[in-house]
Every structure is written in structure tokens, then in C-alpha cells.
Chains A and B, each alone.
Chain A
Amino acid sequence: MIEKRGIGRPIAHVVLILGVLIVAFPIYYTFIASTQSLTTILRPPLPLTPGDQFVPNYSEAIFGGIGRIGGVDVLTLLFNTLVMALGIALGKIFISILSAFAVVFFRFPLRMLFFWLIFVTLMLPVEVRILPTYKVMVDLGMIDTYAGLILPLIASATATLLFRQFFMTIPSELVEAARIDGAGPLRFLKDILLPLSKTNIAALFVILFIYGWTQYLWPLLVTNDNQMNTIVIALRKMVSFADADTPWHMVMVTSILAILPPVLVVVLMQRWFVRGLVESEK
């Protein structure tokens, strides 16, 4: 750590505050806009203080339904997105822990081949395999289902790699001590490996939850029904080319509501998140 003395400290603070302002202002402005009526928004300049439409705007969005996207309310959108983000985050963690567990702690034929196959998929992002994946989803009848939203995104080479690296730091004596203590592979996973990976899992969860929450391309393809839209897709659909056709106040409300859950996850899990990234507990 570099220790700051004298003039350094105030300067550091000024820079930090400026940074915060630059990042926070657009979000604040979005919030202001979400409390104005559509007519105020369409007649610039937009005031810098909240308007009087907070309650009507938000209750209309949450409970009333928004015309541009087929009368679906934001609550449904939030629920859809939540299911998808949780499904992706938890699914990725589950699968990658199991595959990393197999690759690190078991000796089986072609073990390294399997590891490299997983590794190679890193080079194939969703966009590259999007056509075959779409075809498979159509054939399986998974268009407009949660499974269709989640499954194609659920395997993660990155997370597998991360867990593999972490598992490899676990001393072999610990594994052997567990064997002598009569812990079979699954019990070892449950009693020793998972508790030790807690912070890593938490950090990964935060990253993957946000990744899932902000998915755009795949949900756009795989959902046709307005009821199945995720919040990001709905936002896109709300915005029309004609300014007058776009319910800007609703767009702003939806934006604010779309930001909240990821922020909440980060804030609530911040302690774990930082620990998982920084600390190697052992």
C-alpha cells in the first residue's frame, strides 16, 4: 500500500468524488426522468429535481402493464429475468464444481482430454454456436420456456477453470486425511470441498448473476411471447423509432427497476465477493 500524506490525501478524495459523480449522474438522471410525466420528458430541458409522477409512474409500470410490449407488467419481466439469472448462475456453479471436482480429484482415462475439451469451448461463445443451438431448442420445443432461456447458457468453461485452479491449491494431504477419516468422494465434496470454496462460490455467483441478468442476444431469439420477455428485451421493445411513440417515462421506470436487483446482489454479497477475489484461505 502506498501511504498518502499531506496534499496527496485531499487530491485522492477529489478524484474519487469526481469519479463517483461521473458514474452516478446518468443513473440519477434516469431516476429523475422516471418521476416525470411523458410530456415533461419530451419537452427539454429535463429538470434536475424529481417530479411529482413517482407513484403513478411506478404503480402503472409494476401493476398496470405497458402497452408497447403487449400489456405485460414489469413485475412479470422482473420475475422472468430473475428466474433466468438465478438459473444460469446456480446452474453454472453446480455444473462447473462437479466437472472441476472430477478433473482434479479423479484419475480416469482421457482425463486431460476431457479437461481440454472443456477448455476449448471457451473459444466458442454463444454467438458462434447460436444457429445450431437455436435449432436444437426449436426441436426440443423449448422456445418460450425458462428451460430454453437457461440451458444453452448453463455450461461454463471459465467457472470450471476457476474451480479447477482453486481445487488444485488444496493440499493432497487434506484429501488423504479425509480418506483416512472415511469420507467417500461425495462426502468429501460436501463436508470439505464446498465449505472451503464458499467465498469462491459467492464471488462467482455475483459475477454470473449479473452476466445472466444482462443477457440480450439469446433471450431475444428464444422468446417470442411477450409474457416470457426478460426485462432487457422488454426495454428494447419499448423503445420505438418514433420518439412520440415511445413511453419514455415507462422506459425510465423499467430501467431503474432493471438496475436494482443486480445492485442489490452486489451490495448484499459485497463482503463475500471481495473476500472470494482477494483471499486465499488456508
Chain B
Amino acid sequence: MAKIELTDVRKVYPGNVEAVKGVSLSIPDGSFVVLVGPSGCGKSTLLRMVAGLESISSGTVEIGERVVNELEPAERDIAMVFQNYALYPHMSVRGNLQYGLKNRKMASDEIARRVDAAAKMLEIGPLLDRKPGQLSGGQRQRVAMGRALVREPAAFLFDEPLSNLDAKLRVQMRAEIRRLQRRLGTTSLYVTHDQLEAMTLADKLVVLNSGRIEQVGSPMDVYEKPASLFVATFIGSPAMNLLPVGEGGVPGVSASDHLLSPGGRPQILGVRPEHMRLVAETDATQPGDAIFELTVNGVEVVGAESFVYGGLPQGGPEVAVRVAGYSHLEPGTQVRAATSHDAFHRFDRESGRRIVVA
């Protein structure tokens, strides 16, 4: 058990390519922190620096109370789960689990105890004598987790561990990882590009973009109060609808109050698809609602819900509206959508940062 503290960590590759541009992050003891971002945002590099697989160009990484910058991965008291499992193909499952412990010259009865405990926890007991090649993807993933478990480390590091699994297994393993981590209370740092994984697993979500932290917070915090345009569009699917506010407001959108008045600086309004609803011409609208006049471009039926994509007039941006159930709207239909005005997010167009309305 330990907290992890990153202070102004940077990674500069040869040729002056800066992959991580000064990240400071504090991971409390026992928490589950997820690093999420598009590919190339430096999230894996950051994780690998914590693991000791990548050198740290500047800044410090502390695990527990120790600065580990110069320590070998094995000395950092961490365990890592890799995307492609990285099991030793010539060793049995048991061999895989105990290899690290053997290298630490642990007594063999203690090794056996830990391996059996991990095998029981992950339900891989019957597989202990098989080779990784004889296991399915999900089983391999379990063995990889087991290899991390038996070390009883101060922290788990996960590098997109579920990306190679099929969708169903991924959901199942996701829940299992979460349960396991709760039960063991081991500090965990988890890297993923999948926002769904990020939202469901994290105690604390860290959104990274091109080597910098965009936002840190609880998943719902990040979802409900995105700190920047990047976060707003990255988290949530379909992405948040963005409406650039011009001199005359937003064409096709009418609102009763000064929602659309271009304040002092150019702004972009954001609203999530689920905060919009389709209304009939005759429906009475709530006071304070913003009304969208849309031409339907297409409908995406997910099952329990559908997303109606409609364009605003004068070539304005496309807007997604969530509708419960199955929508039969044909492309070209004119529809109206309404949104309560407190559902809007406001961003500065130049800096992309959220504007906090007093």
C-alpha cells in the first residue's frame, strides 16, 4: 500500500520530442486512478515512467515515501499488467506466477501459498499446469493479473489490459478488476483510451491530452463539469454538441434569455445529447428553454435509445439528440428540440477552457 506522487514529470525523447510535458499528480493510497486520453497523449509513457521501463527526463516519481527515479522496475515494489499479457510462453501458469517471487529468493512454501491464494481468487486453479498457449484470451488475462497479485505490490499498473478482449469479456473483466481492487485496497494506476472503462473504473479520472493533464476529478465531475472543450468532446458518446456563438447568436437556436448573447469574448456552447429532447410544434416549452430547429440527417439506433442527428440551418453544426426507444424519423424531416438552459456548458473559444458562470 502506498501513495504515488508525480511532481512535474517530463519525458523528452531524442530529437526533442516531448511526450510528457510536466505532469504533477497525486494518487492517494488505495485509490483507483485512470489515465485516459487519445492515442499519443503520453498516457502510456507516463505509466511506463512510473513502472521504471522508461527513464524520467525531469521531475520526480515517488512511490510510498521513496523517490524511485533511479530504481530498477523490480525494486519499485510495483506490478504491471500488459495489454498483450506478456506471459512467458514456455512456462506453465504456475511458473509464470511464481517467476518473480523466485527471483526475489522467497521461501518456496510462501510462494506456494501466494500462488494458490491468487489462483483461488482469480479462479484459475485448474489451469495452473497449462501453458499460456493453451489458454483463451480471458484466461490469459487472468493469469497476467495473477502474476501481478502474487507480488503483493505497493501499486498495480495496468496498461490497457482489456484492449485485446472481446466486448463481452471486457465488461466482465472490468467489473472483476474493480472488485479485486476494492477488496485488496491496492493503489492502482490504469491506462486506457476507452472512456467507458475510464468512467466505470475510476475513483479519480485523469484526462490527458498531448502530454498535459486536461482535467483531474471524479468521473461524474469530469462528465458534468468538463474543464475544457477537449474533455467535453472526449468524454461522453456521442460527443457533446458544440455551438459556436456568433454575433447573431446561433442560427436556428432561439432562447428567451441572454444565453446566446455573445459575451465579452467569443464563446462556444456545449450541450450533451441526453439533455436535449424532441418537442412537437404545439408542445408548450418551459420558460428558459432553448429551442433548436433541426433538419434530420440520420438516426442511429442503439437499442434502448436512439440518437437523432440533425443539422442547424445555414450550414450550422450537426447536433445529436438522444431519444428513448426507437426513432422512426426520416432524413430531411424538420424537427424541434428543446434544452433547459442550465444544461449548457460554456467555453472560451480561444483558450478552450470552461467559463465558470458566477
Determine if B83 and A173 form an interchain contact, defined as CB atoms under 8 angstroms apart.
Answer: yes
How many chain B residues touch the partner (CB < 8 A)? Answer: 24
Chain A residues near B184 (CB-CB < 8 A)? none
Write the nearest CB–CB distance from A228 to chain B, whole angstroms.
41
Whether A174 is near chain B, meaning CB under 8 Å from some CB there, is yes
Determine if B73 and A180 form an interchain contact, defined as CB atoms under 8 angstroms apart.
Answer: yes
Determine if B74 and A180 form an interchain contact, defined as CB atoms under 8 angstroms apart.
Answer: yes
Determine if A182 and B86 form an interchain contact, defined as CB atoms under 8 angstroms apart.
Answer: no
Chain B residues near A183 (CB-CB < 8 A)? 74, 99, 103
Whether A281 is near chain B, meaning CB under 8 Å from some CB there, is yes
Interface majority SS on A: helix, strand, loop or mixed?
helix
A194, closest chain B residue (CB): B90
- Residues 178-196 of chain A: 1 if any B CB is under 8 Å from the residue's CB, otherwise 0? 1111110001000110011
Determine if A179 and B53 form an interchain contact, defined as CB atoms under 8 angstroms apart.
Answer: yes
State which residues 73-91 of B face A: CB under 8 Å. Answer: 73-74, 78-80, 82-84, 86-91
Determine if B86 and A173 form an interchain contact, defined as CB atoms under 8 angstroms apart.
Answer: yes
Whether A282 is near chain B, meaning CB under 8 Å from some CB there, is yes
Whether B51 is near chain A, meaning CB under 8 Å from some CB there, is yes
Chain B residues near A174 (CB-CB < 8 A)? 86, 88
Write the nearest CB–CB distance from B147 to chain A, whole angstroms.
8
Write the nearest CB–CB distance from B23 to chain A, whole angstroms.
21
How many chain A residues touch the partner (CB < 8 A)? Answer: 19
State which residues 195-234 of B face A: CB under 8 Å. Answer: none
Whether B262 is near chain A, meaning CB under 8 Å from some CB there, is no
Whether A48 is near chain B, meaning CB under 8 Å from some CB there, is no
A180 to B81, CA, bound (A): 10
Determine if B89 and A182 form an interchain contact, defined as CB atoms under 8 angstroms apart.
Answer: no
A271 to B62, CA, bound (A): 52
Determine if A177 and B90 form an interchain contact, defined as CB atoms under 8 angstroms apart.
Answer: no
A192 to B99, CA, bound (A): 11
Chain B residues near A173 (CB-CB < 8 A)? 82-84, 86
Determine if B99 and A176 form an interchain contact, defined as CB atoms under 8 angstroms apart.
Answer: no
Of A181, A195, A282, the residue contacting B100 (CB under 8 A) is: A181
Whether A44 is near chain B, meaning CB under 8 Å from some CB there, is no
Write the nearest CB–CB distance from B63 to chain A, whole angstroms.
13
Say whether, besides A183-B103, A187-B103, A196-B90, A177 and B84 are in contact (CB < 8 Å).
no
- Residues 249-282 of chain A: 1 if any B CB is under 8 Å from the residue's CB, otherwise 0? 0000000000000000000000000000000011
User: Which of A182, A187, A282 has the most C-beta atoms of chain B within 10 angstroms of its own C-beta?
Assistant: A182
Whether B330 is near chain A, meaning CB under 8 Å from some CB there, is no
A76 to B316, CA, bound (A): 94
Determine if A176 and B103 form an interchain contact, defined as CB atoms under 8 angstroms apart.
Answer: no
A282 to B133, CA, bound (A): 8
Write the nearest CB–CB distance from B345 to chain A, whole angstroms.
39
Determine if A176 and B73 form an interchain contact, defined as CB atoms under 8 angstroms apart.
Answer: yes
A281 to B91, CA, bound (A): 13
Chain A residues near B305 (CB-CB < 8 A)? none
Chain A residues near B73 (CB-CB < 8 A)? 176, 179-180
Whether B129 is near chain A, meaning CB under 8 Å from some CB there, is no
Whether B328 is near chain A, meaning CB under 8 Å from some CB there, is no
Question: Ordered nearest first, which 3 A-B pairs have the shortest CB separation?
Answer: A182-B74, A181-B100, A173-B86
A-B contact pairs, 10 of them (CB 8 A): A173-B86, A176-B51, A176-B53, A176-B73, A177-B147, A180-B51, A181-B99, A181-B100, A183-B74, A187-B103
* Contacts A182-B74, A183-B74, A187-B103 known; 8 new A-B pairs at CB < 8 A: A171-B84, A173-B82, A177-B86, A178-B88, A180-B51, A180-B78, A182-B100, A183-B103
Interface residues of A (CB under 8 A from B): 171, 173-174, 176-183, 187, 191-192, 195-196, 198, 281-282
